[in-house]
Each structure stands twice: as C-alpha cells, then as structure tokens.
C-alpha cells in the first residue's frame, strides 16, 4: 500500500474518531461537569482536549511509514 493511500484511509479514520470522541466528551461534560467548579471544568477540558492524540499516534505512525522499496 502506498503512502498516499495510507494517508487517505488514515484521514477518514481520524475524522471518524475525532467526531465520535467529541460527542463522547460533550456527553460526559454535559452530564457530569455542570455542578463542578470552574477549575475542575478547566482541567477536564484541558485533559480531554489533548488526550485524543494518544489513541491516534499508532495510526499517524502507520500513515507516515515510507513506501516499500520496489
């Protein structure tokens, strides 16, 4: 599989993951964070806003692999 194909597949996979992740985080925030203090809310949004990167790192590494030599 060429790098270009992997990037196309990875871009669609990342888009689906980020949309689903955002919906889950919004549902958690709506249900649990309404009554919490502003500091707790800020920490939650900081952690939630950065933690989507960790599950996608293997996909990004796979996308960026060099093409096999022919």
Tokens of 19: 């949309």
Query: With 90 as the cut, is the pLDDT of residue 64 above it?
Result: yes
Average pLDDT over residues 28-56: 91
- The residue written with tokens 């597949």 in the block is 9
Other C-beta atoms closer than 10 Å to the C-beta of 6 total 16
Other C-beta atoms closer than 10 Å to the C-beta of 10 total 17
Tokens of 51: 């933690």
Comparison of pLDDT for 16 and 30, the residue scoring more: 16
Specify whether the CB–CB gap between 48 and 23 falls below 8 A: no
Tell me the average pLDDT of the chain: 92
């Amino acid at each position: 599989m060429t790098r270009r194909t992997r990037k196309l597949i990875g871009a669609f996979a990342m888009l689906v993951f980020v949309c689903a992740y955002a919906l889950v985080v919004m549902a958690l925030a709506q249900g649990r964070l309404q009554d919490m203090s502003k500091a707790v809310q800020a920490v939650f949004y900081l952690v939630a806003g950065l933690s989507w990167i960790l599950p996608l790192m293997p996909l990004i590494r796979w996308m960026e692999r060099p093409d096999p030599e022919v």
